[in-house]
Amino acid sequence: MSGKIVSYEDLTAYVAKILAAFGYPLDRADITARVLVEADARGVASHGVARLSFYKKNIEGGFAVPTAEPSVVHETPMSVVVDGNHGVGSYVADFAMQKCMDKAAEIGAGFASVRNSNHYGMAGLWAEQAAKRDQIGLSFTNTRICAIPTYGKERILGTNPICVAIPQEGDDPFMVDMATTTVAHGKIEVYERRGLDMPLGWVVDEEGKGTTDTPHFQKLFWGASPFGGHLFLGGEGEEHGGHKGYGLGLLVDLLCAGLSMGRWSFKTFSGTGSGIAHFFGAMRMDLFGDPTELKRHVSGILEEVRNSGKAEGQDRIYIHGEKETEARARNMKQGITLDEATCTLLDKYGTAFDLGSLF
């Protein structure tokens, strides 16, 4: 992959300037820049700084209001419902997750459902916050329509990721962070930017047939047809468990939109604001025993998984989150590599807003 290398700090500062030029207040620009750059640092380009163009379109389309403040519409000692008022997704997510963690610190557990938000970046960044406080973290979100249900042909559900983070020994928690579809849509956007065909099995076209044609699928996705879409985990039909992935995706929508009185995926980006909905949770480890002993036990289980038998030709079994953690450690030392299309995008905004060049 051709491109350029830039330091974490320089990239974060530059992206914050671009977001401020979009109209983000400085606090929202700072947290959003960190969220985007963290994704690139962890090797998750689908959620990285290339998302700037999407964020700008959301402002121009009236789907995001950078100056909006989230508000609490219902609250108990253990729970809160937040209206994001169409504000910046990362800012709203941080507001809601802080509420969860504070409640967990006080009484053991806290949960938040959120309506009328926007794209909040990697789900794992919010669950990880709780894990750093010796809490189990939960982070779910719905998205714009991307996916078709089992035996359906129309896009009605989002990629609807789920994330759970559990503390273990050391600084990094166990964390599973995944779309309930085969891939997040951002990964298809990466393939489009790099001029690549998708692997077969990610999506189906308007005829319900598997396709590798990235440009054609993107044309469908952005409005040429309501048919064709992402496949859920397990693929088409029930033979390989596609109905299970579909069930997980639907569950996410019910937690996020159902419990916040918000819009489910099918109704996002219709009317005022994008209507994206989230769900967060935090639970103190000491609800289940001594946190030190629990973390040691969790680490022991994971180590046994790593040491189990390897398939022929393989020398390592990865635990979820390890690849991202290791990529971040490398990239913090050697810099983050951005592909050529992303570099061009940053140069375009740098010129448009008279920010100078990052490179």
Report helix, strand or coil for 83: strand
Q: What is the mean pLDDT of the chain?
A: 96
pLDDT band at 225 (very low <50, low <70, confident <90, very high): confident
Q: What is the pTM of this model?
A: 0.94
Alpha helices in the chain (DSSP H): 8-22, 26-41, 52-60, 89-107, 124-131, 185-193, 214-219, 242-253, 291-306, 322-334, 340-352
Q: Domains, the chain, ranges and CATH?
A: 1-60+334-359 (1.10.1530.10), 64-182+233-307 (3.30.1370.60), 183-230 (3.30.60.50)
Instruction: Give the angle 92-95-98 at the CA atoms, nearest 5°.
Output: 145
- The answer to whether 282 touches 104, Cβ cutoff 8 Å, is yes
For the stretch 297-329, pLDDT in tens is 999 999 999 999 999 999 999 999 999 999 999
For the stretch 42-66, pLDDT in tens is 999 989 999 999 999 999 999 999 9
- The answer to whether 281 touches 135, Cβ cutoff 8 Å, is no
Distance (Å, rounded) from C-alpha 141 to C-alpha 143?
A: 7
For the stretch 250-291, pLDDT in tens is 999 999 999 999 999 999 999 899 999 999 999 999 999 999
pLDDT band at 3 (very low <50, low <70, confident <90, very high): confident
Task: Please measure the distance between the N-terminal and C-terminal CA atoms of the chain and give it in whole angstroms.
Answer: 17
Supply the DSSP symbol for 26. Answer: H
Amino acid 53 reads S
Q: Which is more confidently placed, 221 or 303?
A: 303
Strands 276-284 and 109-117: antiparallel
CB atoms within 10 A of CB 76: 10
